[in-house]
Structure 1
Amino acid sequence: MSNTVLDNFEEITFTKPSDIIINQIKNLITSGQLKPGEKLPPERKLSEKLMVSRSAVRDAIKKLEFYGILKTHPQSGTVVAGMGVTALQGLISDILKVDGSNFKSLVETRVILEVNSARLAAERRTEENMTKIQLALDAYNYKLDQGLSTVEEDLRFHLEIAEASQNPVLKSLMMVITPDIITSFIKFDVCGADTKTERLNEHQAILDFIKNKEPEKAGLMMDRHLKDIKAFSITHKF
């Protein structure tokens, strides 16, 4: 069989349980059966009803929390975010599309957003922004020192920088594409133990440049910080 014919075949993929759950939430929102502000059933009851593992339910909820579609409040449970139905439906559709998108394109887009968010943050950040970025970095460093997964803390650090840019559209775009990139980055162990010190230093340098209001240096350091994932996206296909 020639390579040309072979190229016409597509890899068979299977829908993940978490994506099926996300789709069900989308349908419930669209139909009006699940409204903004309404509380979701507990994980245990959802897993029993859907006949899937609690980890699948947890993955779906955590992913939707990443994007701000769900909010979990201590002692009171998980609720649908208080945004309009149309906005929620569109955002969920975008999330599901992103999962099947070209990874290299996602990374290229992330680099553009991240570099510019760092530059704008250095120009526009407030003292409150700096406090939040520092807290996110402290949480990241703590998890890294403990040898634990830092995916959530890393995401928070980068989103706090996007927040400091004072550009809500930029932050929204970051929220759509970044979580899946970071998850794949951690899953395939792109950042090995030997890069730990380097990552810590780069995070700190980005924070310092933003604090000192040096936009060009902040942007250049962010670009340098993302060099591993840029190289990874070139050599791997998803």
Structure 2
Amino acid sequence: MSRSESETWQQAFVPPAATPVPARVRALAGDAELEPVWENELGGVTFRARGDGGIRYIKYGPRNAETSMVAEAARMRWAAPYTPVPRVLTHGADATTEWLVTAAVPGRSAVDPRWLAEPDTTVRAIGRGLRGLHDALPVEECPFDWNVPARAANAAERGIILPAALREAPPVDRLVVCHGDACAPNTLVGEDGTWSGHVDLGALGVADRWADIAVAAMSTEWNYGPGWQDALVDAYGISPDRERLTYYQALWNAT
């Protein structure tokens, strides 16, 4: 996933306005106006649906072994009582595709042009938002794992075998319920410049907090340019741990 040019990375995931609307998405949207807003590396597209009932988001894409919208729906429903995440309206699947419809959460993605232009504010919001998520979600009650063995098993299902150097993680610093994909686009930022929620929680689960921090820090370079990693860690409220940052960034890139 690593990219050195933030603009290239950003544009690669914004689908063209003329993106075809699948029949299933059109049926789920009803009479609402549809706008494609995000495309992932697996070919899934998220559409914004605007209608009399407000704003909804419809995520639609191929079934795959890496992520599951059914799993994401379960995780968002679990997390919703503790932290601001999208409210699940419906979800489903057929033999080849799956879909997830959620209510809008206030705020704009941290890679919205507004926030790309203010990286100092945005990076702080991402770091503080991640700390807020980690502090809010109860580890003891979480039924989901995102530890290294779980991630290695998921990778193996997709034919990826971890290099020997990555099979043993550093000792756990602090167990938290991790977001699982804490890249910048998945933090929402309110008009006041503070975090307002998180999206794309399909991998949420218990793991060392550095598994999330490392990815969030690395993603600042993809989106805002070099020099922001330590600022994000500082906004989270701790000092950089070079060993854990290096390990979990390498693990992310390997899986």
TM-score normalised by the chain length of structure 2: 0.33
Q: Which has the larger radius of gyration?
A: 1
Structure with the bigger percentage of strand: 2
Structure with the bigger percentage of helix: 1
